[in-house]
Structure 1
Amino acid sequence: MTHTTAPPEARPAQTRVVIVGAGISGLTTAYYLQRRFGDQAQITLVEAAERLGGKISTRIVAGHPLDTGPDALMVRAPVAAALIADLGLADQVVAPNGGGARIWSRGRLRSLPEGTMFGVPGGLLPLVRSRLLSPLGLARAAFDLVLPRNRPRAAGADPSIGELVRARMGAQVFNRLVEPLLGGVHAGRADTLSAQSTAPDIAALASTHRSLYLGLRHRPKRAAGAAPAGPMLVTLNSGLGGLVDALEAHLTDATVRRGRTVTAITPAAGPAAAAPRGYRVDLDDGDVLTADVVVLATPAFASAQIVATASPQLATLLEGIDYANVATIGLAYPRSALSADLVGTGFLVPPEEGRLIVGCTWSSLKWPHLADDNVVLVRCMVGRHGDNRWLTMRDSTLVRRVRDELADALGLVGTPQEQFVQRWDQGMPQYLVGHQTRLDAMAEELTTLPGLFLTGSAYRGVGLASCIADAERTADAIVAVRSSTRREDRAGATIAGRNLRVPAHRQE
């Protein structure tokens, strides 16, 4: 059988894609595009740092791999589990030990009530057993069962989580349960966070059930005899830095420009063109790239600077996404520093306690591969939206304050064998009330900029699994927009904008 090769002029032109930012969002977008386009795409990743991975970073502490950023991946999300398998990492997966987190409240570590979701308890009896609430707080929490159903809200209304929970269950449930759990995920204040964008399950319960307790009780349960779904969260035995290494190794057809910053993008046909065809991408070293598609996988404030010339309106919307400053403090204590056995996998701290620590993980107990008879590995997180007391502290002062708080909570004394401080300035995006409305406005603005895409933790989920899912959705939208732009430029722009209108995912 004779095969013929199409002449060069008959072959489809390569799609030139520039992805700005090589954190988990940029890396996975490049990975999915490479799989979908094959050799029909010319992919360039531009990363300001010399290291790839963004906030995913692993370092060796006391001989063990300890993550300085996120330390777990939610594999109940199918796209995350599939990525692990596709990268050949399935044999490196480590599931956490059980035990769960405690709440540090009024001088003691207290158990979370059973059936809690985002801090909302699933019943009164578990609340009583936890001893988190005073008798008056318990009585107020019971009002949820007798208060009338919430009035229907106007279309597009976006109450805060605090507004929903405090009205039904009172201040103590909100302050001692909801605030610390959401603070652990978002480093935010639940009174300002959008229920729709950060806790859509709770928002749905509040609108469809007359009681949050009853709504949680009537959630679908796994069928009797069904096999367990497996762990919700996992890590890798080399730390999550292994995920970054695997992604980088698989990007065989992509060009990576490290240590370079994109200063601006400009529609190739000029700002006045009705349908720009491609973009000029300016780098800080004076180099210029030309792209059919640009993906901004950078934080919203960085993306705002990049698009300021191409779209001042989009830049303004991006600048409106606020961030919290956060830090991870890693400590390796000798086992002898413990005055008692640790219980569970860590603890969370309500803001009302006035502590610097937001949450703490006993990494040696949480992850089997970090267990050590001689060393206890501890990761503490500090920083909440609006709480920058620690920001000007020297690392040594910050570590001392964290150690003092650990001594109060656990009686943990002595000097750590090793320690580190990893600061993430403007590290955690805040999905404030009105977040989805902002995304809708951004999507509308993107319809004027065909081939420009936004992805990352600032938009539809802060967890790693949410970022991976958004990256795959972005890659699919790029494939669709490249097909449609050959037929109608405006149709392609509409697909690009629609990508931002996808509701937020459940958070990790």
Structure 2
Amino acid sequence: MVSGNGSRTAVVGGGISGLVAAYRLRQRLGPTAEIVLFERGDRVGGVLHTGELGGGPLDLGAEAFVGRRPEVPALLRELGLEEQLVHPAGRRPLIWADGATHPLPGGTLMGIPATSMVMHGLVDAATLATIDAEADRPLHWVPGSDIAVATLVADRFGPQVVARSVDPLLGGVYAGLANSIGLRSALPPLAAALDAGARSLGAAVARALPPPSTAPVFGGLRDGYRVLLRALLAAAAPKVEIRTAVTDLARTATGWRLGAAGEFDAVLLATPAPVTAGLLGADLPAAAELAAGIELSSSALVALAVAPDAPLPDNSGILVATGEPLRAKAFTLSSRKWPHLAGRDALLLRASFGRFGDSSPLSWSDADLIAAATADLATVTGHHIEPLDARVQRWPGGLPQYAPGHDRRIADLEAAVAQAPGLALAGAYLHGVGVPACIATATAAVNRLT
């Protein structure tokens, strides 16, 4: 266990998890402790990155967080950034499916309905009949088991529900598909309802749906995530080693050695799962094997500024069903979604590309990505809208995939690392890909070390 009074601690990885970890370490260890933050890229922040477009800041990575979790608002209060907290306008997204736009169904659990009522217009009559008859079919569920979301939903409700309702929503969270995401990690309340003996998928969804609430589902930062990143860095006051890839981690008699960086009393790894696996391999091979089994998804984002009178729908975005002949997987109509962006001289929107198993958009040129975004936007809106300006951001290996069995894998990984004093893990591959979950893993990792 590390304490202050001149201790030396390394944080490897300068994303949100690493920055929160450095900040928590400074709070716990005090001003005399040496905290060194290693980041292999040319900036801190990881997949949180704020650019400039349309006369002001715009997030080019994650843009929102789950507003019903407490971690981000609490952290903003700690750092004196309460005035940065903003919420969406409340507009609903559309879904592009079968060559047309449809309202996003309400009353679903990540796109999984409890009844057929909310799916009318989005799926065909045969699928509606399958949903209606689902309760009459025996449900064979082994408590504690885990399968891909698509496996269960397609079997019980049909493949159209997966492609047109579940995939578009899961794709926004994981940049993956329902056939690559495990039910237990993605939808814990649904798994709990099935474990408790729900007699059908519809009944399980009805039991798992959260109670009605007027609280905002999502939140964001008025001036982008860069405000939070800068505040964390200033409060943590670590020694920052940018463009420094840590490739060697070895246990010593009193702590850990990080290659040429020398010895540390404790090390906190806030690195992607494959990097973590490489660092753990020498001393903790079983833990390394578990981390190496977590795959990553890559994506690309095109942010566009268009004329203020451009004919965009009055919705927060347009999600694209799988199997559609479009290259973009979603559009966020940022100026419609966020009131604080509505006053700009241009309308802002974001087009997202890339799903798990398809990293090809990363190889496209900026011009090709912008052209694809513009062409697909014309398809889903019915209007050619010429961009006034654009920004392209690529995210290779940006999001971990929570495959079936992920929760057991992480439990085993954390148990293995717990046997190594002075070592802890944090990051999006552990207990959730969102910013609140990353903050929680960083705080838990520092609690373990201190």
Pairwise TM-score range, normalised by the shorter structure: over 0.9
Q: TM-score, normalised by structure 1?
A: 0.83
Candidates 350, 353, 372, aligned match of 2:324: 353
The residue type paired with residue 242 of structure 2 is R
The residue that corresponds to 1:95 in the other structure is 87
> Matches of 1:327 and 1:143 in 2, distance apart?
40
In terms of mean alpha carbon deviation, does 177-186 or 410-419 score higher?
410-419
Give 1:154 shift.
Answer: 5.8
The residue that corresponds to 1:462 in the other structure is 433
Deviations 1:398-436 (A, max 9, x none): 221121111000124242111111001111111112222
Aligned ranges for residues 38-437 of structure 1 at < 5 Å?
Answer: 38-39=30-31, 41-128=33-120, 131-148=121-138, 150-153=139-142, 155=144, 157-208=145-196, 209-218=198-207, 230-252=215-237, 254-269=238-253, 277-282=254-259, 287-338=260-311, 341-372=312-343, 374-437=345-408
The answer (yes or no) to whether the contact 2:277–2:288 under 8 Å persists in 1 is yes
Aligned residues: 447
The answer (yes or no) to whether the contact 1:143–1:168 under 8 Å persists in 2 is no
Deviations 1:240-271 (A, max 9, x none): 1111111112113x3222222212111113xx
The DSSP-based 3-state class of the residue aligned with 1:378 is: strand
Deviations 1:284-339 (A, max 9, x none): xxx4231121111011112222233333333332222111111111011113442x
In terms of mean alpha carbon deviation, does 32-41 or 260-269 score higher?
32-41
Deviations 1:460-506 (A, max 9, x none): 10011110111111111222xxxxxxxxxxxxxxxxxxxxxxxxxxx
Alignment identity in percent? Answer: 35
> Matches of 2:252 and 2:47 in 1, distance apart?
32
The DSSP-based 3-state class of the residue aligned with 1:469 is: helix
The answer (yes or no) to whether the contact 2:300–2:362 under 8 Å persists in 1 is no
The answer (yes or no) to whether the contact 2:115–2:132 under 8 Å persists in 1 is no
Q: TM-score, normalised by structure 2?
A: 0.93
Deviations 1:347-403 (A, max 9, x none): 111222142211110001111111147421110111101123423221211221121
The residue type paired with residue 347 of structure 2 is V
Deviations 1:419-464 (A, max 9, x none): 1110011111111122223223323432442211111011110011
The answer (yes or no) to whether the contact 1:29–1:471 under 8 Å persists in 2 is yes
> Matches of 1:220 and 1:59 in 2, distance apart?
36
Candidates 31, 36, 40, aligned match of 2:23: 31
> Matches of 2:299 and 2:25 in 1, distance apart?
32
Give 1:222 shift.
Answer: 5.3
Instruction: Evaluate the alpha carbon distance shift between residue 154 and residue 98 of structure 1 in structure 2; reply closer, same or farther with a 3 A threshold.
Output: closer
> Matches of 2:163 and 2:195 in 1, distance apart?
22
Give 1:145 shift.
Answer: 2.5
The DSSP-based 3-state class of the residue aligned with 1:32 is: helix
In terms of mean alpha carbon deviation, does 89-98 or 30-39 score higher?
30-39
The DSSP-based 3-state class of the residue aligned with 1:357 is: coil
Which runs of 5 or more structure 1 residues have no equivalent in the other structure?
1-10, 270-276, 480-508
Deviations 1:69-127 (A, max 9, x none): 00012232122221111111111211111112111101111112221111112332222
> Matches of 1:437 and 1:221 in 2, distance apart?
25
The DSSP-based 3-state class of the residue aligned with 2:114 is: coil
The residue that corresponds to 1:493 in the other structure is none
> Matches of 1:345 and 1:22 in 2, distance apart?
31
> Matches of 1:394 and 1:256 in 2, distance apart?
32
> Matches of 2:449 and 2:134 in 1, distance apart?
46
Instruction: Evaluate the alpha carbon distance shift between residue 54 and residue 96 of structure 1 in structure 2; reply closer, same or farther with a 3 A threshold.
Output: same
The residue type paired with residue 226 of structure 2 is G
The residue that corresponds to 1:3 in the other structure is none
In terms of mean alpha carbon deviation, does 290-299 or 72-81 score higher?
72-81
The residue type paired with residue 289 of structure 2 is T
The residue that corresponds to 1:506 in the other structure is none
The answer (yes or no) to whether the contact 1:264–1:308 under 8 Å persists in 2 is no
> Matches of 1:100 and 1:17 in 2, distance apart?
45
The answer (yes or no) to whether the contact 2:296–2:401 under 8 Å persists in 1 is yes
Give 1:12 shift.
Answer: 7.1
The answer (yes or no) to whether the contact 1:114–1:122 under 8 Å persists in 2 is no
The residue type paired with residue 249 of structure 2 is I
Give 1:53 shift.
Answer: 1.0
The answer (yes or no) to whether the contact 2:163–2:321 under 8 Å persists in 1 is yes
> Matches of 1:329 and 1:116 in 2, distance apart?
29
> Matches of 1:80 and 1:238 in 2, distance apart?
15
The answer (yes or no) to whether the contact 1:72–1:240 under 8 Å persists in 2 is no
The residue type paired with residue 174 of structure 2 is H
> Matches of 1:152 and 1:97 in 2, distance apart?
40
Instruction: Evaluate the alpha carbon distance shift between residue 120 and residue 18 of structure 1 in structure 2; reply closer, same or farther with a 3 A threshold.
Output: same
The answer (yes or no) to whether the contact 2:48–2:59 under 8 Å persists in 1 is yes
Instruction: Evaluate the alpha carbon distance shift between residue 218 and residue 324 of structure 1 in structure 2; reply closer, same or farther with a 3 A threshold.
Output: closer
> Matches of 2:257 and 2:214 in 1, distance apart?
47
The answer (yes or no) to whether the contact 1:47–1:257 under 8 Å persists in 2 is yes
